Amino acid sequence: MNYFLTIKHKSNYPLKYGLQNKVNGSWLGVGRFVKENTDSVLIYEDAANSKVSYEDLIRQDVIETVGGGLLISERFKDLITAHFKSDVQMLSTAFTYQGILNSSYVALNVFNKVECYDLDKSAYTKHPVDNSLKFTQTVLQTTPLEEYGFEYNVVRSQEDNKIVVSELFKSLVEAAKINGVGFKK
Give me the amino acid identity at 52.
Answer: V
* pLDDT in single tens digits along all 185 residues of the chain: 999 999 987 677 999 999 999 999 999 999 999 987 777 899 999 999 999 999 999 999 999 999 999 999 999 999 999 999 999 999 999 999 999 999 999 999 999 999 999 999 999 998 889 888 889 999 999 999 999 999 999 999 999 999 999 999 999 999 999 999 999 99
- pLDDT score of 145: 95
Cβ atoms of residues 63 and 47 within 8 Å: no
**Rounded CA gap, 152 and 164, in Å?**
10
**Rounded CA gap, 3 and 120, in Å?**
18
Catalogue the E-assigned strands of the chain: 2-7, 15-17, 42-46, 62-66, 70-72, 89-97, 100-102, 106-109, 113-114, 123-126, 133-137, 145-147, 150-152, 154-157, 163-166, 181-184
- pLDDT score of 70: 96
- pLDDT score of 133: 87
Work out the burial of residue 68: count CB atoms within 10 Å of its CB; fewer than 13 is exposed, 13-18 middle, 19 or more buried.
Answer: buried
- pLDDT score of 9: 75
Cβ atoms of residues 2 and 142 within 8 Å: yes
CA count, 13 A, side-chain hemisphere, 151: 8
Q: What pairing do the DSSP bridges indicate for beta strands 42-46 and 100-102?
A: unpaired
